[in-house]
Structure formats: C-alpha cells, structure tokens
C-alpha cells in the first residue's frame, strides 16, 4: 500500500484527531473495566459481567440481562470498529534522540498486536526513521532502536516475533522535506507496513 503525499497528510490529520478521541475513549474503557471487575477485552468482560448478574435475583433481572447483553454486544462491535479504525494509524512519532513509545501510540499499537495475534499469517515490516538532525550513521542506529522498540511492544502484546521484520532507514527516507520543526517531527517515526 503506497500513500501519496496528500493521503499521508490527510492520514496524519486524521490520526491526530483519532488519537485525541482514543485517549478519552480509553478513559471510559478503563472505568467500564473497573465496574466489571476486570480489565479490557470483551470476552472476559462478558464473563465477569454474567458472574455478577448470577448473584442477583428476581425476574426483572433476566430482561435487564438481555439489555445488558445487547449493550455489551454493541459495545464489542463499537470496540471492534474502533480497533479497526485505530489500525488505520500506521505511523508513530518520537521525540528527538529517543525511542520511547508515546502514550498516545500505545492503544493503537495494542490494536495492531491483537490483529497480528488473530491473523498469524499476516506479517508486518517495521521501518524506523530519524529526522535529518545529527549524523547519518547514528541516525541509522537510532531508527533501528525505534523500530526495535515498536517490535518489542507488538510482541509483548501478542504478535509473534516471526510476523515482524525491522529495518532502519535512518534519516534517508523523510516523509516531509525541509528543516521546519513540523517537518522534523513528522520524520522522526516508525511505520508499520503490512504485507
């Protein structure tokens, strides 16, 4: 999948919007999880949900249970859709001379990891990049460090090592030309390429 320049810019704008959305949704999900007495994941959420309901009594409960089930299904569908939407984000940004995965990238990367776990035949190429500042060879190593950080994160969250491949381009493959702060920020990145 090759993106044109304008598509990339659009994707970028879209991803910033989405990321803002994600972090607030993330909070809500956390609260739901606490109510259900369990972490995220629709299957385990349902299980714990039904255990809680089993302790309740009265006929009114069954109708409410139906409603609750529907609600959970809708929630699962929404979550799946959201996961799907999150997976549209395949570029992750870094601060200068660091390989630390930013907080807002984590949910998206988890979505990718789950997808890889669910699709064992799917492979992903993880390309690491640096901005033009500093030396080319150090940036090559820095790009690799970034790609490795993302690779580790995907593996910890369910992807198999064999599904991933990393390559660093250092500063050789900028997305945006120029030396403006915004250009530099967009070039310090890791891209996931599903093949």
Partner 1 sequence: MRNQANTSNTRRSLLVFVMMSLFAVPAMGDELLIRITKGADSAIPVSVVPFSESGQMPSGDKISRIIQNDLEMSGEFDPLPPEQMLSLPSKGSDVFFRDWRLLGQRYVLVGQVSNAGGKLEAQYELYDVSQEKRLVGATASAPVSASRTLAHHISDRVYEAITGVQGAFSTKLAYVTLERRADGPLYRLQVSDVDGKRARIRLESDEPILSPAWSPDAKKLAYVSFETGKPAVYVHELSSGERKRVADFQGLNSAPAWSDDGRSLLMTLSKDGNAEIYRMNLASGDLKRLTNHWSIDTEPSYDHTGEGFFFTSDRSGGPQIYHKPSEDAEPRRITFGSRYNARPRPDSSGDYVYYVHMRDRAFHIARTNLETGDETILTRTESDESPSVSPNGRMLIYATKSGGNSVLTVIAADGGAAYSLPASRGDVREPAWSPIVQ
Q: Which is nearer to partner 1, 9 or 185 (CB)?
A: 9
Q: Which is nearer to partner 1, 49 or 153 (CB)?
A: 153
Rg (CA), the chain: 20
Task: Kindly state the smallest distance separating residue 49's Cβ from partner 1, in Å.
Answer: 43
Q: Which is nearer to partner 1, 46 or 127 (CB)?
A: 127
Q: What is the DSSP letter of 163?
A: G
Q: Which residues sit opposite 191 in a β-bridge?
A: 91, 127
Q: Which is nearer to partner 1, 86 or 142 (CB)?
A: 142
- Which residues 6+ apart lie within 8 Å of 179 measured at CB? 132
Task: Kindly state the smallest distance separating residue 164's Cβ from partner 1, in Å.
Answer: 12
Task: Kindly state the smallest distance separating residue 84's Cβ from partner 1, in Å.
Answer: 22
Residue-wise DSSP of 56-109: --STHHHHHHHHHHHHHHHHHHHHHHHHHHHTT--EEE--TT--PPPHHHHHHH
Contacting positions for partner 1 (CB under 8 A): 2-5, 8-9, 97, 125, 127, 132-138, 140-142, 144-145, 148, 166-170, 172-179, 191, 193, 195
Task: Kindly state the smallest distance separating residue 157's Cβ from partner 1, in Å.
Answer: 20
Q: Which helix (H) or strand (E) holds 159?
A: none
């Amino acid at each position: 999948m090759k993106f044109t320049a304008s598509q990339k810019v659009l994707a970028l704008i879209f991803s910033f919007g989405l990321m803002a959305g994600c972090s607030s949704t993330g909070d809500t999900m956390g609260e739901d999880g606490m109510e259900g007495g369990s972490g995220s994941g629709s299957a385990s959420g349902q299980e714990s949900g039904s255990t809680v309901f089993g302790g309740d009594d009265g006929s009114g409960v069954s109708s409410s249970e139906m409603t609750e089930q529907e609600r959970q299904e809708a929630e699962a569908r929404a979550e799946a859709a959201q996961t799907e939407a999150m997976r549209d984000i395949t570029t992750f940004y870094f601060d200068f001379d660091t390989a630390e995965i930013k907080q807002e990238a984590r949910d998206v990367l988890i979505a990718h990891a789950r997808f890889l776990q669910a699709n064992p035949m799917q492979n992903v190429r993880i390309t690491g990049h640096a901005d033009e500042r500093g030396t080319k060879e150090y940036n090559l190593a820095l790009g690799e460090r970034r790609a490795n950080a993302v690779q580790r994160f995907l593996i910890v969250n369910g992807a198999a090592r064999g599904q991933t491949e990393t390559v660093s381009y250092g500063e050789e493959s900028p997305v945006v030309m120029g030396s403006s702060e915004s250009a530099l920020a967009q070039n310090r990145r890791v891209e996931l390429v599903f093949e």
